Amino acid sequence: MLSYKFLGLALVVSAWALPFKREVPQEHSHNIVLASVRPMLDLNNPNNIEDPVFGLLGDAAAAAGAGSITNLDCLQQATADQAFTNAKAAGNVTGMAFSLIYRAIERNTGAVGLASVICNETATNPEIAALTQHQDPASTNASAINKAITLELAKQIASVGGDPTLALISGTFAPGQIGDPTAKGNTCDVEDDEPGCIFSQNLLVEDATTAEISAAVAGISATATSAAAASATSAAASAASAADDETATCASIVTVTVTASATATAATEIASAATSAAATATATATASATGTNLQTFTGALGGVTAPSVIAAGSGFEVTTEPEDPFVNLAAALGRSCDIQHNQCADAANSSGNSAFTVGDCDTQDTQCKAASSS
């Protein structure tokens, strides 16, 4: 048995489309990963990367959404690195785990058996820097390379307090035929399939067994973020006790236990569990929108204040985003600073403003973050 813990809300993201020409499409095969990294990237995206999907495309298509990243072979890493940084600042273990998984999934290339280029830059976060992307399963030595990547990914997920078996979802397809003129191999690419067609069509080839994962992560303990993980785990545990034994839901975590060979069935179960988790999250957020403002930072360039943060349920919320509760106060305050920073930058860039610059907003954001952590 293999236990997949998915974040419920990420599964109800609706179909989403982009006006670009695809090459060897499989970039939507692991949609759950894109849907989970997207909100983390959106928290702070200084390079203006348009969407995580671009990092999985070949250079020509990737260029259309790479923002200020010019080394397209490093777009996947840069996207993962920024999403991880943001998730870490927010104390979001799920977000960190999916940023790591995203870094490790295969990137499109132009032919079956052709490996993608490895990024030649060093990521800011050592957890991201430890990883590279899966390679085309028909490329040289791919099964050993991909297995090594998955085991390293499991270690990195464990090091931030996540479930290391999640690393298995970074796996790819069965090898295609070298010389296949369509370059498609055994892939799938369905844009509106959640959690992703590689799961719903049962095409995932797992790189390792759970025993191998357990052996790989033995002795690894979570670092600074373990408090957030423990808190999330205990929230999940209390919700689990109230749910049926097949599916446990809470405001943000869905646990579904599936056999490794029943992924297609699992996808349906995951989707329905996600719907009820989302409903629970909405109800919880609505029920607790009162309280004292815990955001003490008073800077307000352009009249834009950092939105209030209040205690809500067993955690905290930014009052402008009650649908996204936080398990710890520092994360909620950080999000409040981020919202102020985004609005400040918009104001700085609006026509007619000459009073302050985006750089001033950056400085204010640093002060806001410093106030939050004191």
Ligand X SMILES: *[C@@H]1O[C@H](CO)[C@@H](O)[C@H](O)[C@H]1NC(C)=O
Q: How far apart (Å, rounded) are the C-alpha atoms in residues 239 and 250?
A: 5
Among 4, 6, 9, 82, binds ligand X (CB under 6 A): 9
CA dist 152 to 107, 157, 218, 367, Å? 18, 9, 12, 36
Task: Show the site string, 40-79: x = touches ligand X by CB under 6 A, - = not.
Answer: x------------------------------x--------
For residue 188, give the nearest of 24, 352, 298 by alpha carbon: 24
Query: Closest distance between ligand X and the C-beta of residue 80, in Å?
Result: 12
Comparing CB distances to ligand X, the nearer of 269 and 360 is 360
Query: Closest distance between ligand X and the C-beta of residue 42, in Å?
Result: 10
- Where does the chain show beta strands of DSSP type E? 2-7, 247-249, 253-258, 309-312, 315-318
Query: Binding to ligand X (CB under 6 A): which residues in 201-220?
Result: none
Q: DSSP characters for 242-271?
A: HS-SSEEE-SSEEEEEE-TT-HHHHHHHHH
Contact status: 326 vs ligand X (CB under 6 A): yes
Provide Rg for the chain, Cα atoms: 21
66 neighbors 41 (Cβ within 8 angstroms): no
Q: Which residue number places its CB atom closest to ligand X?
A: 95
From the list 57-65, 94-102, 198-206, 293-301, the region that binds ligand X by CB under 6 A is 94-102
What residue has token string 């670092």?
Answer: 223
Q: How far apart (Å, rounded) are the C-alpha atoms in residues 36 and 360?
A: 31
SS (H, E, C) 173-210: CCCCCCCCCCCCCCCCCCCCCCCCHHHHCCCCECCCCH
Count residues near ligand X (CB under 6 A): 24
Query: Closest distance between ligand X and the C-beta of residue 275, in Å?
Result: 15
Comparing CB distances to ligand X, the nearer of 252 and 372 is 252
Comparing CB distances to ligand X, the nearer of 98 and 173 is 98
Query: Binding to ligand X (CB under 6 A): which residues in 237-266?
Result: 252
Contact status: 10 vs ligand X (CB under 6 A): yes
Among 77, 94, 284, 336, binds ligand X (CB under 6 A): 94
Tell me the two tokens of residue 121: 């830059």
Contact status: 198 vs ligand X (CB under 6 A): no
Query: Closest distance between ligand X and the C-beta of residue 131, in Å?
Result: 12
Among 120, 261, 290, 373, binds ligand X (CB under 6 A): 120
Q: How far apart (Å, rounded) are the C-alpha atoms in residues 263 and 259?
A: 7
From the list 6-14, 20-28, 192-200, 366-374, the region that binds ligand X by CB under 6 A is 6-14
Name the β-bridge partners of 5. 255
Positions that interact with ligand X (CB under 6 A): 7, 9-10, 36, 39-40, 71, 90, 92, 94-95, 98, 120, 141, 144-145, 148, 252, 324-326, 345, 349, 358
